[in-house]
Structures are given as C-alpha cells and as structure tokens.
C-alpha cells in the first residue's frame, strides 16, 4: 500500500513539475498555443507527425495579427517571432542577449564530441571557433577549391547521362547528395569519396546516417530535457563517433600531423591548430567595470574532428536539399527552365564552354532561380535562439526570462503574401536587384543573419550553382509520371528539412 502511495505521489509531483510553466504566456498577455502534459505544444514532431518547420509555419499562419506567439517545448516557454523588425532585434541588434542557439536539450554546455562544433556550441567556445574558422571561407580559399568542384561536376554529368540514356526515373535528391558528398569529401577530408560512381560508398552511408532520425532520438531528447543528470552521457551521434574520429585522426597521421598544402579543410584547421591558443573577448564573463573578460582556447584534436564533421554534414545536406528542390521546380516550370538554360549557355560561351569560378559568378539568372528555390523550401525551415538574460522587447513592452526559446519560422516568412506577391508561384525575377531592393532582408533568411549566420554561405552557393549548371547545360528536367509540384515533407523533430520519398525526375539530353 505504501509503495503505491509513493508511486502516485511521485507521479503527481512530476506532473506538477511538468506543468509549472504552462501559465507563462497567459501572465504576460501573449497569445499562445495550448500545451499538453509532457510534450508542451510540440507533441507532433516527437511522434513524427509533423516536422518542427511545419508546426512553426502552421502557428505563423494561424496568428496573422500577432507579432509574437507563445508555445512550449516540453516544459520550456518558447516564442515564435512573426515580425521582421523583431527578427532583426534577435539576430543582430540585441545579439548579446540571444547568442545561443539552444538546439541541444539538457545541459547545453556539455557537448558530446561530434556536437562540439561551430553549429551547436554556445558562448565563448562558439566565438573562438567562429573567429578561427572564418579565414577558411575567403574568396581566395573558395577559388582554390573550385577545381575540385569541376572534377565532381564532370562525374555528375556522366551519372546523369547514364540515367538519361536508360530512360529511368532518377531521384534528384540522391543524385545531388552524391555530388555534394563527393565535393565535401574532397575539400573537407582530402579524400575521393566517389559516391557518384560507387552506389554504397562509405561517405554516402555516413551522410545517410547523420540525418536519420529514430524514435530513440526522441526518447533521448525528452530524457535530456527532464532528467539531464541521468541522460548526460547519452549521445545522439554515438553510433558514428568512433568512425569519424578515427577517420580524421588517420588523415592527420598520414600528413604527419602537419598541413600538407592540399588546401582542404583539414589542412586549414591543422594550420590554425599550429598557431596555438586564440584569445577573444568573452560573451559570457564581464569584469567588475562591465567590460568583457578575455577568454582563450586551443583547437584540440577532438574539436578539430568536430569541425570537419559539421563541415561535411552541413555542406552536403543543405546543398543537396536545395538544389534538388530547385530542379524539381524547374521540371514543373519549363518556361523558367528555358530562361535558366539560356543564361547558362550564354555565360559558358564566354568561358570556352567550361565551368569556372568566374563563370559561376556570372550566372545571375541561375542564382536568382536557386534563391527562389530556397525561398519556397529553405533547408533550415526555422532559426532557433535562446535568451541568455532577462530581456524586454520595447515594441511590445514584453519581458521574457533567461532560457526562453526563440523560434523564427523561415518557411512562414518566405511564403507570406504580405512580403511576397503570389508567394507560392516560382518566379526567379523576384531576386532581380531591381525588384528585390525594396524587400526587407529580414523576411528572407535561408542562411540566417547576424553573427551566427551560416559561415559557409558563399561555399554553399558556389557548389550548388555549379552543380545545377553542370546538369542543366546538358539536360532538360521533367517531372516523373504521376508526381505533383507539391512535395511531402518528412515529419520529424528536424533541423534540416527533407522530402519524403525523394524527388523523382526524368533527365533528357538537350538538343542544341
């Protein structure tokens, strides 16, 4: 009898703990999504019924007259930002109050090895890594990488040619993922991944594994949220940790732990490692006079491996998602396809019919087209930030506490008729500078904005536009039989959006 009483009491205490914050937004007069026990407002992503992007977009559309909308991620209050001026405040103006992403549940400062990378880490560690890695993405470094793109683009054309001559339906998502995997493998690891030729290459398997979301991952996320001490040693990427750490170590060993002048990402990181500790102004600590303290960090082997890992993961997944979706739209919009091909043909004719760094930069209409694809289907459908200190939004006279989550629904902003005329129409001319100069930059954010914007934006644009140019210079794209323009998004607790079932297309050799 006593045992049952203890169990019931424990459950009741846990229930009270779980719902303790559920009046948070009501007290502040903010419209909010009704929460439920255990999951808050976000039960659908945990049960893989909707992605976080879909859910945030739904809330964005359901509250058209609100500048902000409250919700709860399990027990933690969250705030959806709908107003572009408030988006600017969070990402840029008051960045010092929102410098954390807050994507990892539980203790955000206790990182498993592969997640101690620039995308996930917070605070001073993020600032030091960002400062160390920024020189790796200069124009000179990108230009030096371009020959690696050309080699992979030629292999991409061969794979596409085989599919076109066989008359088979191809999965554009898989095809472009193989292209980006091979390029990132070459410029990141200095290795020939060869997934364009080898169906089941090690790198392709690794890429598939990184973004495979399982039920156990949802359980881990809830466990870390409610029982951080109990779950602190539970890892999200433990299944591939040894493989990645061993791979990076073996590459370093082959190079005698010194830069090899290959100009790949591992080389650049080893150069930074040899420079020793770096010192920056602290985001987290201040002196008694209010000025920031100085903080130092050395690039350990584990941190180096984690940066190579995220370079690979982010580089191949986001680009392959965006390029394949853009090809999908072109297949369903043949008039736009003709304009894109005309732009590619004219530029290539000025560059000896060869892809080059300069040629890609000249393909302006193709770039507009790619940007329009990212508008309709941004790889990261939302941005997340976490409030690091008590903060007041002056426009709303709304004060929020430390640890409140901030969500910016990019998919919602990108398809809002208030900012984009006929928003579901695929129209690259929106990004003609003559048409886009009046557009508020904080309603179109496929790479984010502010100090935590994507560090690899220019590299992503370069490899994506080059890959599409390689395909569209040689082939027409058509929808596969029975497919529609509307894609079905996988419902999961996502960071990067993915299309369920891939993107089936038909390629046909162009007759010039």
pLDDT of residue 1: 59
Q: What are the tens digits of pLDDT across the range 14-44?
A: 766 777 889 999 999 999 999 998 788 998 9
pLDDT of residue 277: 87
Contact status, residue 54 vs residue 69, Cβ threshold 8 Å: no
pLDDT of residue 491: 77
Q: What are the tens digits of pLDDT across the range 449-504?
A: 999 999 999 999 999 999 999 999 999 999 999 888 898 888 775 778 888 889 99
Q: State the CB neighbour count (10 A cutoff) for residue 432.
A: 12
Q: Which of 120-124, 399-403, 412-416 bottoms out in mean pLDDT, i.e. has the lowest?
A: 120-124
Contact status, residue 237 vs residue 112, Cβ threshold 8 Å: yes
**Phi/psi of residue 200, each to 5°?**
-120, 50
Q: What are the tens digits of pLDDT across the range 104-127?
A: 876 556 789 999 999 999 999 999
Domain 113-382+420-509: which CATH number of 1.20.1600.10, 1.10.150.50, 1.10.630.10, 3.40.50.11890: 1.10.630.10
pTM, 2 dp: 0.92
| Joined tokens for residue 181 | 């995997």
| Element spanning 308, H or E | helix 301-332
Over residues 68-85, the mean pLDDT reads 96
How many Å apart are CA 385 and CA 87, to the nearest integer? 11
Higher pLDDT, 379 or 288: 379
Residue 141 above 90 pLDDT? no
Mean pLDDT of the chain: 89
The beta-strand segments (E) located in 207-305 are 278-286, 292-297
**Sequence ranges of the domains in the chain:** 113-382+420-509
How many Å apart are CA 270 and CA 299, to the nearest integer? 9
How many Å apart are CA 4 and CA 222, to the nearest integer? 25
Higher pLDDT, 174 or 201: 174
Residue 128 above 80 pLDDT? yes
Residue 512 above 90 pLDDT? no
How many Å apart are CA 154 and CA 41, to the nearest integer? 47
State the DSSP string of 427-474: -GGGGSHHHHTTS-GGG--TT--STTS-TTHHHHHHHHHHHHHHHHTT
pLDDT of residue 356: 95
pLDDT of residue 284: 87
| Joined tokens for residue 474 | 């040689």
The beta-strand segments (E) located in 309-431 are 383-386, 391-393, 398-400, 405-408
**Residue 23: partners with Cβ closer than 8 Å, 6 or more residues away:** none
Of the CA atoms within 13 Å of residue 503, those in its CB half-sphere come to 28
Cα angle value 493/60/38 (rounded, 5°): 40
pLDDT of residue 108: 54
How many Å apart are CA 372 and CA 473, to the nearest integer? 19
């Amino acid at each position: 009898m006593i045992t049952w009483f203890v169990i019931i009491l424990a459950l009741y205490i846990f229930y009270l703990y779980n719902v303790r914050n559920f009046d948070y937004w009501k007290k502040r007069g903010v419209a909010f999504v009704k929460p439920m026990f255990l999951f808050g407002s976000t039960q659908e992503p945990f049960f893989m019924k909707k992605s976080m992007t879909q859910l945030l977009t739904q809330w964005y559309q359901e509250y058209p007259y609100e500048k902000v909308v409250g919700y709860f991620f399990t027990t933690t209050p969250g705030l959806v930002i709908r107003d572009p001026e408030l988006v600017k405040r969070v990402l840029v103006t008051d960045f010092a109050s929102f410098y954390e992403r807050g994507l990892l549940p539980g203790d955000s400062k206790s990182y498993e090895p592969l997640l101690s990378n620039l995308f996930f880490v917070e605070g001073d560690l993020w600032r030091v890594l960002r400062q160390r890695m920024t020189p790796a993405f200069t124009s000179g470094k990108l230009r030096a990488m371009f020959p690696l793109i050309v080699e992979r683009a030629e292999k991409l054309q061969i794979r596409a040619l085989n599919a076109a001559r066989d008359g088979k339906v191809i999965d554009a998502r898989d095809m472009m993922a193989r292209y980006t995997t091979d390029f990132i493998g070459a410029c990141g690891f200095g290795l020939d991944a060869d997934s364009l030729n080898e169906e089941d290459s090690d790198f392709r398997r690794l890429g598939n594994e990184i973004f495979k979301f399982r039920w156990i991952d949802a359980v881990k996320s809830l466990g870390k949220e409610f029982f951080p001490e109990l779950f602190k040693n539970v890892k999200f990427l433990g299944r591939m940790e040894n493989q990645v750490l061993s791979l990076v170590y073996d590459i370093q060993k082959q190079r005698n732990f010194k830069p090899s002048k290959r100009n790949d990402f591992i080389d650049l990181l080893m150069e930074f490692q040899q420079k020793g500790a770096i010192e920056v102004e602290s985001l987290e600590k201040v002196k008694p006079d209010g000025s920031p303290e100085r903080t130092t960090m050395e690039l350990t082997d584990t941190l180096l491996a984690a940066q190579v890992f995220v370079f690979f993961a982010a580089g191949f997944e986001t680009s392959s998602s965006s390029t394949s979706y853009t090809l999908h739209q072109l297949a369903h919009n043949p008039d736009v396809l003709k304009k894109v091909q005309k732009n590619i043909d004219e530029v290539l004719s000025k560059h000896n019919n060869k892809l080059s760094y300069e040629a890609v930069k000249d393909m302006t209409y193709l770039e507009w087209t790619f940007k329009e694809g990212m508008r309709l289907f941004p790889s990261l459908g939302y941005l997340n930030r976490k409030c690091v200190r008590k903060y007041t939004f002056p426009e709303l006279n709304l004060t929020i506490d430390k640890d409140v989550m901030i969500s910016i629904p990019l998919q919602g902003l990108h398809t809002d008729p208030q900012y984009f005329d006929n928003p579901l129409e695929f129209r690259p001319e929106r990004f003609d500078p003559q048409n886009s100069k009046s557009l508020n930059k904080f309603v179109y954010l496929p790479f984010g904005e502010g100090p935590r914007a994507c560090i690899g934006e220019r590299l992503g644009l370069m490899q994506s536009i080059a890959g599409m140019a390689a395909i569209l210079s040689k082939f027409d794209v058509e929808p596969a039989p029975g497919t529609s323009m509307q894609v079905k998004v996988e419902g999961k607790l996502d960071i990067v959006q993915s299309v369920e079932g891939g993107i089936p297309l038909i390629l046909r050799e162009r007759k010039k």
